[in-house]
């Protein structure tokens, strides 16, 4: 239910908060980096599915 917020500004704020932990200060993005970020990516993809459904339901009740 917490993810079903149809306000994109909430989504943007969450992404901005994750930005510093997800993107490293160096530019070396290899397998280790990708593996370490799997959990964050999976969470954001699940949230995206729920949120696009909530957004569409708000547009077309």
List, for residues 7-36, the tens digit of each pLDDT value. Answer: 889 888 988 888 877 877 777 778 888 888
Q: What is the pLDDT of residue 53?
A: 92
Expressed as residue numbers, the domain containing 21 is 2-59
What 3 state SS string does the chain have?
A: CHHHCCCHHHHHHHHHHHHHHHCCCCCCCCHHHHHHCHHHHHHHHHHHHHHHHHHHHHHCC
Number of neighbours of residue 51 by Cβ within 10 angstroms: 19
List, for residues 46-57, the tens digit of each pLDDT value. Answer: 999 999 999 899
Distance CA 47, CA 41 (A): 10
Q: What is the pLDDT of residue 46?
A: 95
Q: What is the mean pLDDT of the chain?
A: 86
Domain count, the chain: 1
């Amino acid at each position: 239910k917490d993810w079903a917020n149809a306000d994109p500004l909430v989504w943007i704020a969450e992404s901005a908060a994750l930005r510093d932990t997800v993107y490293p200060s160096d530019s070396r993005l290899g397998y280790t980096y990708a593996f370490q970020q799997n959990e964050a990516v999976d969470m954001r993809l699940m949230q995206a599915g729920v949120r696009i459904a909530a957004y569409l339901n708000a547009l077309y009740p």
